[in-house]
């Protein structure tokens, strides 16, 4: 019988399915339900830097009004500010402690960060709370055309480096597919200490209601075809970097999980499929993977992970843009 055990971030997972960071991983009851249904690991809902800063600023303004704290008492502001930020973190730390106490699978914390300064202390607290690993969901919005891409990319590296110096637990970086040179970015993060790279992040996108002439949220969940960009870059980077590669986005079937593993992913993150079908879909996905492995004669995922990556196939141009041009050249 096929065994689904795999290694990711130096952790042993009972299978390669990871519940991605979302509202489905925000409280202990949901986490226990995911584990009961067979998920291999969980990434807790992200702790947002902006949210903590805004909440701390709001509370500080309230304190200013009620306790008459003025600018000449700067040390009071500093103390209050740190207290409020740590208080906002405490609920998250408690979730980590509960999850580690009640789950038998790896628990990966997640922080959504913009700057390196705020997260070094928070990362240490997360480590102390018992998280098995930490996923850095780095997303730096840039709307100034005058800022060179190299400056933005360096900030990603600086955030990773600052947290790497602070904690020893495995770090993964979740990236968006928006870099000038994704290969260089992935390589740089791996060299600077990322144990894993998650490809790719899914951002909020605005939509427009043409009847009401109003802005509205676009589709929140991924579609079944959304896995292909991650597949391409995982196949291109497998064997090129030390960091483990993890696929995210558009993973709705056992077939897609298998494709990502063949491309070189050591694990995959699922979210939208859980929203659509509930945690019960996990057993179906696992059964589909096992059935395929038995059909192909594989006993463990390690026997086929990366088997269809760029470095292991006879026609690597399939993962290059030139092949796209050839394929569609005859379509009118």
Q: Which two tokens stand for residue 189?
A: 């993060």
Q: Is the dihedral of CA 83, 85, 91, 97 positive or negative?
A: negative
Residue with tokens 């594989």: 298
As given in the structure block, the two tokens for residue 33 are 């339900």
pLDDT in tens, 83-140: 455 666 899 999 999 999 999 999 999 998 766 666 787 899 999 999 999 999 987 8
Looking at the domain covering 6-328, what would its CATH class be?
alpha beta
d(CA 300, CA 16): 11
Pair 301, 263: CB distance under 8 Å: no
Q: Where are the domains of the chain?
A: 6-328
Other beta carbons less than 10 A from residue 15's beta carbon: 23
Low-confidence stretches of the chain (pLDDT beneath 70): 49-88, 114-118, 204, 320-332
Residues 176, 203 contacting (CB under 8 angstroms): yes
Regarding pTM above 0.85, the answer is: yes
């Amino acid at each position: 019988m096929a065994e689904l055990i795999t290694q990711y971030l130096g952790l042993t997972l009972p299978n390669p399915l990871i519940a991605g960071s979302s509202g489905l991983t925000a409280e202990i009851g949901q986490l226990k339900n995911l584990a009961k249904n067979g998920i291999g690991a969980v990434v807790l809902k992200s702790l947002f830097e902006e949210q903590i800063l805004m909440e701390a600023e709001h509370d500080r303004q309230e304190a200013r009004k009620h306790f008459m704290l003025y600018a000449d008492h700067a040390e009071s502001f500093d103390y209050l500010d740190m207290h409020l930020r740590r208080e906002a973190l405490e609920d998250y730390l408690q979730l980590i402690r509960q999850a580690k106490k009640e789950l038998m699978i790896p628990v990966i914390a997640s922080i959504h960060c913009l700057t390196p300064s705020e997260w070094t202390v928070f990362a240490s607290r997360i480590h102390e709370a018992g998280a098995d690993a930490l996923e850095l969901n780095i997303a730096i919005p840039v709307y100034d055309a005058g800022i060179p891409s190299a400056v933005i990319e360096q900030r990603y590296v600086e955030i990773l480096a600052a947290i790497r110096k602070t904690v020893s637990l495995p770090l993964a970086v979740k990236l968006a597919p928006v870099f000038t040179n994704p290969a260089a970015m992935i390589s740089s993060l791996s060299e600077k200490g990322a144990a894993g790279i998650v490809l790719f992040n899914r951002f909020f996108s605005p939509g427009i209601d043409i009847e009401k002439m109003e802005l509205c949220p676009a589709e929140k969940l991924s579609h079944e075809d959304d896995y292909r960009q991650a597949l391409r870059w995982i196949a291109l980077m497998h064997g090129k970097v030390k960091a483990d590669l993890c696929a995210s986005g558009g993973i709705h079937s056992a077939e897609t999980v298998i494709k990502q593993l063949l491309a070189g992913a050591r694990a995959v993150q699922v979210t939208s499929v859980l929203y659509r079908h509930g945690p019960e879909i996990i057993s179906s996905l696992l059964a589909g993977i096992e059935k395929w492995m038995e059909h192909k004669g594989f006993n463990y995922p390690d026997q086929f992970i990366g088997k269809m990556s760029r470095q292991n196939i006879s026609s690597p141009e399939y993962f290059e843009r030139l092949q796209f041009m050839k394929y569609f050249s005859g379509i009118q």
